[in-house]
Structure 1
Amino acid sequence: MSDVLRDKAILRGERLAARDRLPPDARIELSLKLCEHGAATLALEPGTVVSGFMPIRSEADIRPLLATLKARGARLCLPVIIDRQTILFRELVQGAPLVPMGFGTFGPGPDAAELDPDLMLVPLSAFDAQGHRIGYGGGYYDRAIDRLHKKGLFPQLIGIAFDCQEVASVPIEAHDVRLQAILTESGLRRVGL
């Protein structure tokens, strides 16, 4: 294991442990604040494709924000795991069933339309002020973003986290893509690129 991978694994473990220590009622309150900030600051055109996620473990619950964006005309999609290497994004439609996707999450089934997001709300385990993120170690989002870039698509990337997940500096690798913003319970922080 390289030094960068080892350092990322240490930071991932520390920040996920900090997130896990938040009491469930505090996580609900912090999630609601995060969603309020997102609703107040994220402007989008009707028809904008927004990828979100269903919360797992101690992640922020962004479902209220997704509902607000949907009410403003966004088309919503969720990541679905296709194989051990790939996630795609399928449209989230009211009333359509969600199916188990693995890792304790759910997503639209195979009959749902596959969409390419214009705006991606990205879960993470750690982030820094420069917009670097550490995911959960599987590289799913890195590969999905790379696949979109190869298609000539460059979605806006907004990391979703609690303030306790911030670190001084994330070790980076050549393939790492910076976020344009981080949304936490303290607000939306744009990152200068």
Structure 2
Amino acid sequence: MNKSELRKLIRNKRRNLSLRRRQSAARGLLSTLRQSSQFMAGKRVALYLSNDGEIDPQLVCDDLEQRGKQVFLPVLHPLRKGHLSFIRYTRNSRMKRNRYGISEPDFRFGQHANARYLSSVCLPLVAFDQRGNRLGMGGGYYDRTLEFMHQPGHKPALIGCAYEFQQLPQLPAEAWDIPLTAIATEAAFRRF
């Protein structure tokens, strides 16, 4: 299968999960991430709000906030086309819908963080493989935003969040793709 066919197949499978299965997976994701000492030690963590059937990290957001950690969400950058900015998120954040209909903090009112200086960035994905390759939605937002990962210097842990069924034996990788540090599913935490 090519990337487009894989995206269609797995996205349909995600969307067709029952509410009960999604809630169970969200609890499993929280449990899995709590088992990572590196993740739990981080002070500034980027997550995302689920969309299109993605595994939901909202319980993780709530847990981190209760532990006094700072949570950031990706926002479509209004000036740097094709890039993301990370803005602090709390229950009181001013939110708006972006052009894809995804809720995000309002760029004008939030505290911004450079991705390079976050402890961890948790990314949604369509599929992943055993080498840490990630198949995203195809927009390239995370790859462009995280291109500094190819350079020396401080780097956050990049943790893909997914359902266990999203693992494939091998994905095609392009030179510009940013490999993941780890994958967290409802069942396991895998380091690469």
Query: Where on the TM-score scale, by shorter chain, does this alignment land: which range?
Result: 0.7 to 0.9
Structure 2: distance between partners of 1:70 and 1:52:
12
Once the two structures are overlaid, the 10-residue window that deviates more, 160-169 or 76-85, is: 76-85
Q: Is the 8 A contact 2:122 2:161 kept in 1?
A: yes
Structure 2: distance between partners of 1:177 and 1:170:
13
Aligned-pair CA distance for 1:8: 1.8
1:3 alignment partner in structure 2: none
Equivalent in 89, 111, 114 of residue 112 of structure 2: 114
Using a 3 Å threshold, how does the CA distance of structure 1 residues 151 and 180 change in structure 2: closer, same or farther?
closer
Once the two structures are overlaid, the 10-residue window that deviates more, 152-161 or 8-17, is: 8-17
Using a 3 Å threshold, how does the CA distance of structure 1 residues 150 and 92 change in structure 2: closer, same or farther?
farther
User: Aligned Cα RMSD in Å?
Assistant: 2.0
Aligned-pair CA distance for 1:15: 1.7
Identity %: 29
Aligned-pair CA distance for 1:30: 1.3
Question: Is residue 134 of structure 2 the alignment partner of residue 137 of structure 1?
Answer: no
Q: How does 1:94-113 map to 2 (within 5 A)?
A: 94-109=91-106, 110-113=108-111
Which amino acid is 1:73 matched to? G
- Poorly superposed stretches of 4+, deviation over 3 Å: 42-46, 147-153
| Structure 1: segments with no counterpart, 5+ residues | 1-5
Once the two structures are overlaid, the 10-residue window that deviates more, 167-176 or 35-44, is: 35-44
Aligned-pair CA distance for 1:118: 2.2
Q: Is the 8 A contact 1:89 1:115 kept in 2?
A: yes
1:89-140 superposed Cα distances (whole Å, 9 cap, x missing partner): 0111341221112322112111111112220000000101111000000000
Equivalent in 8, 12, 16 of residue 17 of structure 1: 12
Paired residues in the alignment total 185
2:166 alignment partner in structure 1: 165
